[in-house]
Structure 1
Amino acid sequence: MQFDWSSRVVPVTVAVLLAGCGGGGPTSSDDDTGNDPPVDTVALTVQLGEMLFMDESLSEPAGQSCATCHDPGHAFADPDVSDQNPVSEGVVAGRFGNRNAPTATYAALIPDFEYDGATGRYRGGQFLDGRAVDLKEQAKGPFLNELEMANTDEAMVVEKLRAAPYAEMFEQIWGAGALDDVAVAYDHMAEAIAAFEETELFMPFTSKYDYCADDNFSCFTEQEKRGLDLFRGKGLCTECHIEDNGLFTDFTYRNIGVPPNPNNPYYAEEPDFIDVGLEANPMLTVDADRQKGKFRVPTLRNVAVTAPYMHNGVMQTLAQVVNFYNRRDQGCYGSQVPLVDCWPDPEVAENMETGNMGDLLLSAQEEADLVAFLETLTDGYQPMP
């Protein structure tokens, strides 16, 4: 691995995690002294977090878990979104969120939400608008969102935790009465989910990019090498998707002029909906009027397998994404079909990025080369023997 995030990644193997998935918490047995062995609360918290992440009984009605929209087999993104339904459906049939669910991979490495006075930009935070300061706070949100897991309040969730087969694990980790107080119990739940998301299962750093980086990318194809050169140079990608931290994001917020998505089913609930992004974040302290339309720059790791793209899922392929960055400002004319032949006006025109994108003068071959490079960022690469 080229980039050392080891201090932020919990080195718990998948085998250890899955050992706790059989129902209730692990049982203690007496050691040679007749005393119970000490409980490894770190490992136990991770195991509990996985159970909570996978538990479909914690929604109202039952049927949706964190993993429903962040599937471990799909780079922790939603496998069920499509061109016609580009955002996730909640547990209540026919009700959809208003944003494309991002991948949860590498989310634990996003810094806490803050305003950087030196750059005049907000950075970090969870959700695409940063409204949760950190991963623990993010974990609390979906359970109470009426468009997601749809519980009415924390008490409803905690009542389900008390009845769960893993309820005793809360007391093993946090002591007797860990589920008695609703607010405290809800906080414990979020802490456990965050602990699970801090494991190497979410942050494996096993892409072809990682494998080839130690040998100066000699194992890249010629097209992938050209794409990397474009990424670092003419494509201006590293202006926001910085490479030196290994996450391909600077965690800042930008309005890149994404057009509205006419296929977003949320318009059925709110026909005049405009997603203002960061502007709606209640934690803004300065320059709120300059944040409209901005969303956090996402990681590009696993980007090839986590379509659709952009906050509203308006783009279905990486080829479209690269073409948008290249040709956004050329507009639509005559018989051109918006979103097919050209790029229509942005959903929010204020505060739009203009210097780093929009008319990059890339050729069709260069666009294809960039896509080839982006495909090297998918985890799980297995080199040929």
Structure 2
Amino acid sequence: MKLRSVVLSILMLVSFTTQAKDPLRDVQQLGKFLFQDKNLSLNRNQSCASCHSLQPAGGNDLASKVVPGFVDPDNVKNGTAISKGSITSATGTLNTPSVGYAAHSPSFHWNKNAGLFVGGQFWNGRAKDLSEQAQKPLLNPLEMAMPSEQAVVDRIKEDKRYKELFREAYGINLDVIKADKVFNLATKAIGEFEKTSVFNKFTSKFDYVLAGKTTLTAIEEKGLELFNGKGNCAACHTSEATRNKNGQLMLPLFTDFTYDNIGLPRNVKIPNNPEPDLGLGGRSDIAAKDPEGNEIGKHKVMTLRNIALTPPYGHNGVLETLEQVVHFYNSRDTLGAVRDNTDPRFGKSGWPQPEIPQNVNSSELGNLGLSSEEEKAIVAFLKTLTDDYQLWGLDSRVPPDSPPPFLLSP
């Protein structure tokens, strides 16, 4: 795919997100308040934002100091794979995914033409949409740990500010609405907040390049060429424009929202070394439709937007850096073997066996034949997918007061 042809094809693209400087609607303001409310957890110490921070996680480079990745900042800082729950001793077993651009994932469904499951939220797609995704952590004993929907609503009613926020958002009297409806409206509001440009900016260097505002460096240009060609990354992390359910053209999201087993090794550094998660095939509803186990070990293909801000990587967080990710995709089948990811030779002279040997993708990765310089080029390109380029790029062609490069309408 030639970059110039991409520019010409998407100059008029639109999406359902709002302009970065647009005020939030009432329901989105309610969602923002709920998203950050630690009182909605059992011990009043966890919120959605605890694991999906709205603040930059910090790091050695400027981008990580000014751009949020919407993941757990402790995981980014410490290289840990899982997040702590409201109860001190409780932790999950999977790497916390970013909620950036999650709003663009279609509802979970079977694509008959492709013969694949597509969309949904979480690593296994068990939540069909953003509202359902917001519900589950509130009631999960390993996360926010609230015992019931009623308990969540009781906490909401403790704060007098919510009475006005719910009235402005939905035109309802919080005191006379049944708990189940309040709970559903609350999680719907969180989902509406996640649809805003807070999480969906489309202001990466790549976007400004597509708009003709700046250019890729030679190594970034080479990385894009490899991404779409020899590296085969675009097979799942699509870099071309698509259409949403309303038929609108969309900027590239760098995912096809499908599920795959890329053969990741087990992460034995996770506390208590839990059994590997079976992913999509571990869901009882999917297993009932899949007696042959063809979905076992498959996890969702996540967007690569802001990928440089969200280490560690993979559903189990076994890969620590972007360089390691690209090297794994390139050499999984050729590097050699080591016992596990505590071995100092991990990723240098060998990889452990896949944690789930069933359904490993053996045709699109594992033996790409990339040189070390080509791996570096792909990493350089991936770093162009970080938002707020106008703030961290130090590019005179894209000064700090530059607007989003594309017109985005609600």
Q: Which has the higher contact order (CA 8 A, sep 6+)?
A: 2
Aligned to 1:188: 185
- Distance change (3 Å), C-alpha of 1:120 and 1:4: farther
1:329 to 327, 333, 336: 333
> Alignment partner for residue 38 of structure 2, among 21, 34, 56?
56
Query: What is aligned with 1:213?
Result: 210
Residue-by-residue CA offset, 1:4-42 (whole Å, 9 max, x unaligned): 77442144736x34xxxxxxxxxxxxxxxxxxxxxxxxx
Confirm or deny that 1:228 pairs with 2:236. Answer: no
Q: Which amino acid aligns with 1:259?
A: P
Any unmatched runs of 5+ in structure 1? 18-42
Partner of 1:350: 358
Match of 1:122, SS state, is strand
How far 1:83 sits from its partner (Å)?
Answer: 5.3
Contact 1:48 1:166 in 2 (8 A): no
2:264 aligned residue: 258
Give the structure 1 partner of residue 111 of structure 2: 116
State whether structure 2 residue 53 is matched by structure 1 residue 71.
yes
C-alpha distance after superposition, 1:164-205 (max 9, x if no partner): 232212133334444531111110101110110010111000
Structure 2 unaligned segments of length 5 or more: list them.
1-6, 56-67, 242-251, 397-410
CA deviations 1:274-329 (Å, max 9, x no partner) are 21000123443733521100011010000001111000111110000000000001
Distance in 1 (alpha carbons) for counterparts of 2:13 and 2:155 = 35
2:196 corresponds in structure 1 to 199
Match of 1:39 in 2: none
State yes or no: 1:167 paired with 2:178: no
Name the counterpart of 1:379.
387
- Find out whether 1:154 has 2:136 as its counterpart: no
Give the aligned partner of residue 299 of structure 1. 303
CA distance in 1: counterparts of 2:12 and 2:327, whole angstroms: 33
Between the aligned residues of both structures, percent identity stands at: 40
- Give the distance between the partners of 2:94 and 2:347, measured in 1 at CA: 18
Conservation of the 8 A alpha-carbon contact between 2:93 and 2:274: no
Aligned counterparts of 1:191 and 1:317: Cα–Cα separation in 2: 34
Structure 2 CA distance for aligned equivalents of residues 107 and 3 of structure 1: 23
Q: Which residue of 2 aligns with 1:287?
A: 290
* 8 Å CA contact retained: 2:28, 2:189: yes
Within the candidate set 78, 85, 97, 1:90 is matched to 85
Residue 131 of structure 1: aligned partner: 126
Q: Is the 8 A contact 1:60 1:150 kept in 2?
A: yes
Under a length normalisation based on structure 2, what TM-score does the superposition of the two structures give? Answer: 0.82
Are 1:367 and 2:375 counterparts? Answer: yes
Stretch moving more, 50-59 or 329-338: 329-338
Is the 2:11–2:210 contact (alpha carbons within 8 Å) kept by the matching residues of 1? no
Q: Output the CA distance in 2 between the equivalents of 1:133 and 1:104.
A: 14
**Matches of 1:225 and 1:252 in 2, distance apart?**
27
Q: Supply the RMSD in Å over aligned alpha carbons.
A: 2.1
Letter in 2 for 1:174: Y
Amino acid in the other structure paired with 1:372: A
CA contact (8 A) 1:293 1:348 kept: yes
Q: Is the 8 A contact 1:207 1:376 kept in 2?
A: yes
